Structure 1
Amino acid sequence: MDNFLHSLSATLHVTAPVFIIVFLGIIFRRINWLDEHFVKVASALVFRVTLPTLVFLNISKTDLRESLDPGVIIYACTATLISFFFLIWMARKIIQDKTDHGVFIQGSFRGNQGVIGMALVANQFGAPGMPLASILLGSLIIIYNILSVIALSMSLPGRADAGWKPVLKEILKNPLILSVVAAIPVSLLKIELPAVVLKTGEYFSGVTLPLALLCIGASLSLKALRASSLASWSATLMKLLILPVIMTLGAIALGWTGQTLGILFLYFASPTAAGSFVMVKAMGGNDKLAANIVALTTAASTLTITLGVFLLHWQGLV
């Protein structure tokens, strides 16, 4: 009983603050404390400035030679790639409309690690967990963008030979990827940044997660939840249950426990990224289905992630 209560307390410490802020965002939007313009501007600020600053500081202040395990990065990227091919097969089996295959596939594997995942890692492991989380985030952003374009191009009429230049440009100018690339030499060469730069960066990075979580809540569409279809429910099941369970069990089988296993689980179990909706809309796909998947996975992840963290604590794996 004591172990159960301890595990429950540890779980709520990790997940409750994150999802409370998301739900506050929903409430603030409903009572008009936040509006669409604020969400748009604040989300852009997080993506372009504060989150890249957070990632840069986490990596640059860490000795990567000692703390980075390349095997973790390889495993996460390989697991994502395998899940992508599995989802192609599943889409052909369960999604009748071929033009929705790519939306289903992307919604099932593309997680919101940049906000939800990072916030959960920060709550669970604090500063020691952030360097690995940041490097992993940069790696997954690249593979997510590439696989998303492939998935959507395969299923959308007239898109088979399009989309590569925009996605390559997006990867090369992505602020999160650029922050990882800039931080690695600073860490490896042990460059000491001026105190005023560090302090300014800490101010920026400090507002990242609460602001981003409020924006997620404020942009969550209750109408989209009510309009959910079989395809969106299937993608939600894949994103929050089937794939995280398989990937986490694989990590356990490879011998990872503690902080590494916890970060992998929190990343694998994160809800679908809002960026998936943006890409679907830009490529002329079923943006309503994409919005439904984002809304459903974000809402349902409050339960699935909490349950997953609880089980890992209860079994002494984290």
Structure 2
Amino acid sequence: MGLLAAFTHTLEITLPVFLMVFLGLGLKRLGWIDAHFITTASMLVFKVTMPALLFLSIIQADLGRALQPDLIGYFIGYTAISFFLAWAWAIWRHPRVERGIFTQGAFRANNGIVGLALAAGQYGDYGLSVGGVLAGAVIVIYNVFSVFILSLYSDEVDTDFRSLIKNLARNPLILSVVFAIPVALSGIELSGWVMTSGGYLAGMSLPLGLICIGGTLSVTAFKRSSTIALDASLWKLVWVPLFGVLGALAAGIQGPALGIIFLYLGCPGAAASFVMAKAFKSNDKLAANIIVITTFASMFTLSFGLFVLKWLDLV
């Protein structure tokens, strides 16, 4: 693929996603949406529309292509490795009190909304189905590791693994993937009205979720960013996706699978990081700064990385 063609195609994938984020930021500054709307809409996306999107994308997909054990195993394994690498760096470079927030911010990505939107834009139904399975699988890793690292460096909150297991078992995104796979394998065809109604809900997920992300961003928080936040953001957007792509190439992963790996690993920090930081009475301002920096900067890092991979004909 030529340089100009690769660059143009890259922008066609990334710009629509981030324009929706900036739309949310603009609507919040105009006062057309507020914190109450964002909270309610985010809950709607998490509990209803996103599960509908994942469920429909899986049951309509070719599971022979979507369920790729090697790809899933590599993605989960490398995510775990990136957690321990970031943790080791935090021990070496940063104060003890900030190590939990740094580690979570450096390895946890917003795959459920931003990653899935990018995968769908790049690879259509294939991106939705493969991305949905990967997102459902990695949610468990994100939550278990985040609870562990935040509780380890928290002096006020103890780890309650029983509650963690219950929350994972009731997670709507995980449940949608768990229920979708047997339906897809059984060949059951749902009624037309069910598919149409589900399609209406699913169609709301990505634009509404991206607008909510934009509405939570704060330019002020970006200006107040600390050295630790910048370091965590560098890990999240540069080192984690770079080493992940190199490892995937060494493992023989190329084409669309490699593209999805890059898009998922290079996603900005997850909004859930802020929620968990508050729950563990950690430095939630640092968590917010990491989310803001990675969201803004990922527009450039994702576009550049995808452009290079296309130029080299690897995806």
The TM-score range, normalised by the shorter chain, is: over 0.9
* Structure 1 Cα separation of the partners of residues 61 and 240 of structure 2: 31
In the alignment, which residue of structure 2 is the partner of 1:102? 100
Question: How far apart in 2 are the matches of 1:66 and 1:73?
Answer: 12
2:156 & 2:114 partners in 1: Cα distance?
34
Quote how far apart the aligned CAs of 1:267 are. 0.3
Q: TM-score, normalization: structure 2?
A: 0.97
Partner of 1:121: 119
* CA-CA distance at 1:199 after TM superposition: 0.5
Offset, 1:229: 0.7
Q: Give the alignment of 1:226-265 within 5 angstroms.
A: 226-265=223-262
Separation (CA, whole Å) in 2 of partners of 1:300 and 1:121: 18
Confirm or deny that 1:202 pairs with 2:199. yes
Question: What's the counterpart of residue 5 of structure 1?
Answer: 4
Structure 1 CA distance for aligned equivalents of residues 259 and 123 of structure 2: 9
Task: Name the counterpart of 1:91.
Answer: 90
Q: Which amino acid aligns with 1:207?
A: M
Runs of 4+ residues over 4 Å off in structure 1: none
Asked if 1:192 is matched to 2:189, the reply is yes
State how far apart, in whole Å, the 1-side matches of 2:13 and 2:289 are: 26
> What is the TM-score when the length of structure 1 is the normalising length?
0.97
8 Å Cα contact 1:121/1:133 also seen in 2: yes
| Equivalent position to 1:306, from 295, 298, 303 | 303
Unmatched runs of 5 consecutive residues or more in structure 2 = none
TM-aligned CA deviation for residue 158 of structure 1? 4.7
Amino acid at match of 2:40: V
Instruction: Please tell me the residue identity of whatever aligns with 1:78.
Output: G
Question: Which residues in structure 2 correspond to 1:175-190 (within 5 Å)?
Answer: 175-190=172-187
Deviations 1:211-237 (A, max 9, x none): 111111111011211111111111000
Structure 1 position 163, deviation (Å): 2.8
Task: Measure, in 1, the Cα distance between the counterparts of 2:204 and 2:65.
Answer: 29
- 1:188 deviation in Å? 1.1
Q: Is the contact between residue 65 and residue 188 of structure 1 (CA under 8 Å) also seen in structure 2?
A: no
Kindly indicate whether the alpha-carbon contact (under 8 Å) linking 1:4 and 1:314 is maintained by their aligned counterparts in 2: yes
Q: How many residues align?
A: 315
In structure 2, relative to structure 1, the CA distance for the partners of 1:65 and 1:314 (3 Å cut) is closer
Give the SS at the match of 2:2.
Answer: helix
For the aligned residue pairs, the C-alpha RMSD in angstroms reads: 1.2
Render the CA deviation track for 1:253-306: whole Å, top value 9, x for unaligned.
Answer: 212222101111000000010001101101111111111111111111111111
CA distance in 1, matches of 2:169, 2:99: 27
SS of aligned partner of 1:126: helix
193-202 vs 62-71, which moves further: 62-71
C-alpha contact (below 8 Å) 2:66/2:133 kept by paired residues: no
Give the Cα–Cα distance (whole angstroms) in 2 for the partners of residues 66 and 85 of structure 1: 30
Q: CA deviation at 1:165?
A: 2.4
Supply the AA of the counterpart residue of 1:48: K
Alpha carbons 2:66, 2:126 under 8 Å: kept: no
Q: Does the Cα contact within 8 Å between 1:220 and 1:295 map onto a contact in 2?
A: yes
Q: Structure 1: which 5+ runs fail to align?
A: none
- The match for 2:269 is 272
> Equivalent residue for 2:160?
163
TM-fit CA distance, 1:66: 4.8
Alpha-carbon distance in structure 2 between the residues aligned to 1:150 and 1:263: 27
Q: Quick one: which amino acid aligns to residue 228 of structure 1?
A: S
